[in-house]
């Protein structure tokens, strides 16, 4: 692509399962992904093989899927924080920095429970539940902002 930033596909990883009853290895992997609490999410690059490998090992405890740049910008604008804990002013510039691999904000976003509740089970895998790879993750996150 000429004259701009290339389109990097971002995967949003949303933690559904809480902390009680997890194996130590699963808990450690979730900590390394920077999603340490229930209903916290993070963005990872689809091309990063290490992060995708960690995601595959915790797929029974999280919901994940690709999101658009508009939703990522909205997420950063509403829920993003600087490293000092202050709100973000320019979400577009921050998103460009994230795509370059430079995180100048906190790597996680705390979300509310979804308005109207989870429409499907939080204990089953997709398509009957919301765990694992979820095609409708953007609709879910929209209701959680």
Encoding tokens for residue 48? 């990063």
Does a structural domain hold residue 36?
A: yes
In this prediction, residue 41 carries a pLDDT of: 95
3-state SS class at 67: strand
How do residues 65-79 score in pLDDT, each as one tens digit? 999 999 999 999 999
What percent of the chain is modeled with pLDDT above 70? 94
* 14 domain-assigned: yes
How many domains does one find in the chain? 1
Residue 37 lies in a domain: yes
- 75 assigned to some structural domain: no
Per-residue pLDDT reduced to its tens digit, 108-139: 999 999 999 988 888 888 788 899 999 989 99
**Does 121 map to a domain?**
yes
User: 36: domain CATH number?
Assistant: 3.30.1390.20
Asked, for residue 35, whether it belongs to a domain, the answer is: yes
Residue 59 lies in a domain: yes
Residue 5 scores a pLDDT above 70: no
Please, what is the angle between helix 137-144 and helix 69-79, to 10°? 20
Global pTM value: 0.87
Residue ranges making up the domain that contains 47: 10-68+107-144
In a domain, 60, yes or no: yes
pLDDT in tens, 80-107: 999 998 999 889 899 898 888 888 899 9
Confidence of residue 1 (pLDDT cuts 50, 70, 90): very low
Q: CB burial class (10 A; 0-12, 13-18, 19+) of residue 64?
A: buried
């Amino acid at each position: 692509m000429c004259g701009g930033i290339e389109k990097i596909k971002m995967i949003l990883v949303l933690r559904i399962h809480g902390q009680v009853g997890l194996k130590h290895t699963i808990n450690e992997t979730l900590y390394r992904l920077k999603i340490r609490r229930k209903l916290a999410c993070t963005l990872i690059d689809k091309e990063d093989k290490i992060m995708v490998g960690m995601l595959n090992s915790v797929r029974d405890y999280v919901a994940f899927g690709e999101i658009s740049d508009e939703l990522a910008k909205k997420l950063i604008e509403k829920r993003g924080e600087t490293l000092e804990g202050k709100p973000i002013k320019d979400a577009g510039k921050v998103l460009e920095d994230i795509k370059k691999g430079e995180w100048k904000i906190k790597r996680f976003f705390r979300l509310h429970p979804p308005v109207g509740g989870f429409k499907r089970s939080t204990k089953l895998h997709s398509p009957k539940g919301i765990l694992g790879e979820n095609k409708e993750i953007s609709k879910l996150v929209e209701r959680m902002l």
